[in-house]
Amino acid sequence: MPGGSGLDVLKAMKKRGFDIPSIVISGSVTATVGDQLVQHGVQAMVIKPFSLDRISQEIQKVIGSRYPSESDAGDANEG
């Protein structure tokens, strides 16, 4: 990203109070950067190259954890 990084964007979003699901797509992520991304609210990281199925799975996980369906809520109440 010219002039900054995805981590810079996440920090700015957090500073401004944005609370939205985030998925990072990168060619490589070190353990240190991965830890920083998680600290700034990243729910998933996908390393390039990736398949459409892979990114679709991560999107579904993030959406599902953020916005559980009514059937998921019913399952939790049955136990």
* Each residue's pLDDT tens digit, 31-47: 998 898 888 889 999 99
**CATH code of residue 61:** 3.40.50.2300
Counting the structural domains of the chain, the total is: 1
On whether residue 78 sits in a domain, the answer given is no
Could you tell me the pTM of the whole model? 0.69
On whether residue 79 sits in a domain, the answer given is no
On whether residue 30 sits in a domain, the answer given is yes
Q: 40 near 11, Cβ under 8 Å? A: yes
pLDDT tens for 47-65 read: 999 999 999 999 999 988 7
Q: Mention every residue, 6+ apart, whose C-beta is less than 8 A from residue 76.
A: 68
Domain enclosing residue 46, as ranges: 6-69
Asked whether residue 76 carries a pLDDT value surpassing 80, the answer given is no
